[in-house]
Structure 1
Amino acid sequence: MLKKVTNRIYSWGFQERLTIILILFALIPLLIIQQMMMHFYENHIIAEASNSTLSVVKANNNVLEMFMDGVETTSQLMIDSEFYYDIFSNFKDMSIGDCLRSDRVISAEMAKQFSAQDEIYEAYLYTSKWIFGKDTGLMTTSIEGAQTAGFISAANQSNGLPRWITGYDYGKSIGSSYLMQKESYAWKYPLTMVRQMNFQYSSTGSYQKLSSDAEKPVLVVHILENSVRELYAGSISYEGSLYAVANSDGTIISSDNEKFPVGSHTQEEIFTHFGESGYLSCRLDQVPYLLCYDTISEKGLLSFAFVPMDILMKNTVAKTRQLQFICVISLILLSVLVAFLLSRTITKPINALITASRRVAGGNFSADTPVPHGRDFKLLTESFNHMETQIDRLIHENYEISLREKETQLMALSMQINPHFLYNTLNTINMLAIQNNDEETSELIVDLSEMLQYTFKNTSEKCTLADEIAWVSNYLDIMSRRYDNVFVTRMDIEEELVDCRVPKFLLQPLVENSILHGFSQRQEGGILTIRITRQEEDMIILVSDNGKGMDEAQLENYTDSLARDGHVGISNIHRRLSLLYGEHYKIQVKSEPEKGTRITIRIPCEFSV
């Protein structure tokens, strides 16, 4: 079964296989990455939701604080009103009838001042003999009830500043047995602001306020808990979320759920964050929640919201799966498109290389395969073209070497004269020179004899440097006698190189060039220098003279002659070195008029085994 499946896969075309591979390589990592991202980004998701929920809690606190500040501002406007000052500056002299008449105008004025704040349920001005203000007939209490509730004493202790009383049972605080018997009623847990009203005003440069012995009324403003709840109701969009507000005693003063009933105390782990703002993960009845909290420090209130973790992650997971499905479909379509484009970019250069291989197999090494833009196939195609060029060059070089070998063989056949005949002849001439006391001629004949012996005894292409130096020394001896006192020779050869193998007759053309051309206009003082040194794995051969040299035009023409076989001796060296060492050699020529010429040759060191 496995073999059939394998054969089936092998039978697919390149494009089909590439498509399947791309789809697999796209989907498998996507699924793995999706799971890793879900785990990795869980904290990130919670943090984003936490910041979002915390911003809502802070916004709700801002609204609540602005509302409470509005009540305090209205009370300050009442204190600075000439209207209230005129009434209460003569309050101790007012009769019951005066209080009744004043109550009607005060109630109307207070109704206008608190008209923009619908959340205010009732507002009163308490005095020792009358209660003035807005009256719904529900929360009104007696002067004794206000004193029992502590409204009067709390206001007097605040020295004219507003004070908020929260988290208390209204029925119990005023001592109403009727309300205490009721399990619940709308104003059971109100938010109450009390303030001692020391009325004052300024007009045309004069400042007036109640005298120190005048009675200061106490303003009491009641706000129902459900009015506070409406300020944040529905602000947390997560299903199953809980929202509540607690005071500085840890008492819940407003809530939208039964887990935190109004009038109860918050858990210690919540109340410990009073005065702070932030979020954390916690458990409530063994259920994981996200807790976000923020404090209104000036009002002594802590608002907090609980968001179920499962609901929080549920929405995210659903969105992630939807996104995953879209990504999968997109990747499949993209894989098909990429597979088609990639197969074109791969098969086209391959087909071009196949065509080039057939051309090479037919003996055509033109190296004209088009080079694609892709880096890999560009390198491959350039290498293929370079290989063709190198093969073509090697074929031509081998062909030239083969021709030279044939020429050498023909020359050897045509020169099969017994060397002993030449040696005997030269010896006869040498004996005659000795008999005639011609020592100079005798020395020249000996030099020539040794040179011929060097030529005939070894027909190989290379010889040791020592043999080459000996041969060129004989040549220099002959030329120095011919050009008497024209030049002297200086040799500097590193001893370790004498056993190295070098091309035969390498130095003679260079030396001859210096003597015949460099010293052609000299009568004396010529210096011919031969220096052979080693640099790493190469041998450096320097032949220089202090002859007439060459100008730039002559030097350029001389250098060009190396490539086109224009100068017989030097171009011969160039061709031989190219055949023997390929690209691993270098010839450099430098020359200046009246200063001489320097020819440097670099070839690899080959030590005799």
Structure 2
Amino acid sequence: MRSSLALRMFVYFVIVIVISSSIVGLVLYVQSTKEVDKQTNELLTQIVDNAMNHTDMYLKKYDRATVSMMTSTNVKEFLNLDSNNFIPYFLSIRPMKEKVLQPLFINNPEISMVYLLGYNGLSIYDHNADTSDFSNSLLLDKLDSLKEITDKDGKLTIMDWSFLDGKLALTRKISDRQTSKIFKGILGIELNIEELTSLWKGIRLGETGYFYIVNDTGKIIYHPMSGMIGKQLDIKLFTKLRENQNQIFDYKDDVERVHFNRRSDYTGLTLVASMPLDELRAPALNIRKTTVYTCAIALIIALILAYRFGQSIIRPIKMLENGMRKTEKGNWTHVAISGRTDEMDRLTISYNMMVSRLQELMEQVYAEELKNKEYLLKRQSAEFQALQLQINPHFLYNTLETIVCYAVVQDSQEIKEIVRSLSYMLRYSVRADLEEITLANELKHVLHFMNIMNYRLGHEFEIEVTVPPELLLKKMVRLTLQPLIENVFKHAFPDGIESHHQIRIDARMEEDDFIVTVTDNGVGITPERLEELQTKMAEQHESTSQLPVRIEREGGIGLANVHSRIQIVFGEQYGLSISNNETATGAQLTLRMPSQREERSCAPVVVAI
């Protein structure tokens, strides 16, 4: 499956955006949650502290009020009355109410009832509520219970029950002297329970949060639900309250709630703030939702922008890719630019310029190549045919004259051999194709040439051939060896052929080249003439069509013919080279051709032609 750059780029964008958004959102949520929890804890602590301070201040007011009652002479006299003498008791009731109890009601209208219960068995009470079923006998019945509940040191005590329903009862032990620890009675005040609620009215603990007060035994002193007052707090909850003094903790009953408690040093009571955990966690949850929604929206927007950004890069690249594919198929296609004049447009413009230039160059190359191929084929065909057909007519004329002479003089076998050799040579020479023949064929052609030459010379002349048998089947060009032999007879022996004259044909391998040499012991070539011939042979590739003509005028058609045909067939690195012998007189003509195949090595064979 081919990988898509657009898909990879989009995936990379998504990964980067998701990771960065997740990290930012997570860090923001964690830090915000910590800060919210910290502020919530501080706020809850402050709320409970404020509520406790308000409660203590509220109770201290009644503490001071009860202390002022203890300094009253009417109270002291009442506590010291004889329970068996009812006349002083009845006489003290009116002054007690007018001078002690009534002023307390006036200064504190929230008081529902005030009572004084002496250890002497006498009691007095007054109230602002409708309590038709209340009597002194009820007070006396609770005397022993009040003695046990009320603080033994004479401190103000908050009761976990009251004589009147739904009231908050405060009691303290009193004596006839302010500094005396010998107590002679109990002073009790019962308040409207709503008074504590009004103290905490400005303090919000959520929709369902509330305060409640418990004593050291776990009894509920105050609760917003009046039915809970006086009941024992759940033992597990009370244990956690004692273990987590001044700390926030979770407790799950029907609903998981958060509790924070503070014990008053003044009253010894524990004020507990309770609110649902969901409400306490609401700010953190809101932050989390906000963070999630914000990150999701930002992610969607970022993905859309990433997609559009990726497409703005990929679209021009795809257009360039499609253009390149069409160009590969030979359809030169220009890519349209977007008009934004950015890097992609500049790249597209450069690509279009490159395509235009390549198209022009390719058209020029194709045209030149077609022109060159056509010219080369015509030129090679014409040159080869011309070179192939350039056979020295003088040899044929002389041969024919010889045949005529022999025919006139006598009817002899010589005429038959000369005509047969001439027939073979003509048949071998007139072929004009590029067929590669073997060295053995060329040697056979040289043999027929020598049959005729021996008759022309008037005596036998043998050519020494030292060619290894494995090289006889090596390929070479037709009519390249016999012209060299003819050139030797023409130029090497200008004074005639003597018995000491010789011609030798050799063949060998040099690396990957096949070498055939023709050497003689004639007069050789002058240095000036040799340098001239070598220079002209080296310039063969510059003007192949004119070289044979120049060499014909200056040194014979045979050499130029051979050299040109070898280069046409095998290439310009091959051909004919001319030099003088280094160790003897005479010249050496060397044919260099490529080797076609490896042959098994054998000892050289010496034959005479």
Q: TM-score, normalised by structure 1?
A: 0.41
Greater Rg by CA:
2
